[in-house]
Chain A
Amino acid sequence: MNHNPQSSDGKHDDDSALSDFLASLMDYTPTIPDELVEHYLSKSGFQSPDVRLIKLVAVATQKFVAEVASDALMHCKARQAAVVKDKRDKQQKDKRLILTMDDLSKSLREYGVNVKHQEYFADSPSTGIDPASREE
């Protein structure tokens, strides 16, 4: 009985926080456009007249992509730091941070997404083999 009013107050606070947040979402324009989110949500069967929910999904997706990208950036910087340790001359050259499949697959693995990029593509099974063995 005692904690009931407290919990109800807490709930009220949470409710108000959430409703305030949803209201503030209307002012914030996420990087991912609403039309794109709406297109894929309708494709999945999601139906809602509330625009704030679309914005919430857009913000959540942006957060997810930003997290993945920041993890990939960490991997990229760590790789560059390791290289710089060996050769100080290349420090200026490697300043550019480039998103590669290698870093991306490493960061996505933590989120449960397994992405394997092909090392190379060959024309036939015997490409790259010594000519002597290829003739056989």
Chain B
Amino acid sequence: MGREVSESCIDSLLIEMVSTYCNRFYANKPELAARRIEAIGYQVGHQLSERYTMERPRFSDHLEAIKFICKDFWSELFKKQIDNLKTNHRGTFVLQDNRFRWLTRMSIDQSPENGASEDPSIMADEKAVESMHLYFPCGIIRGALSNLGIPCAVSADISNLPACSFVIRIKA
């Protein structure tokens, strides 16, 4: 397990993957592109969780597994831990990362240009592109949790960049 690549390679690969799936493979079908990207993330998360849970003792309940995702898993992937974890104790968890590493290179164009009529559509486009980039980490989380025996659905929320929240809903 000693091979390494540079982080800029990973960044470029992810950006290119999202762009290829959205613009070339499934050019006018963003739903399909999103599902494919999320499936790739699922595979990656599945295998990464196998590798990162090797030495540790087993988890006693769902909260332990989610805490593992927030601390060890996130540090291995992004060199930092999740900043905030909230739960409603009924199967929903919100993981908030105040500076999500893969979105730090993404520009946030907040200056209002001329013409208020153009703003909503441009902003909607930007939000759509940014949300495409979040399907991969959602898939990673979903794959990791299913390998630990917790089927769930994961969605992301980017109301204020560069902070990013992942909402995990455990399927009963």
Q: Do the two chains bind?
A: no
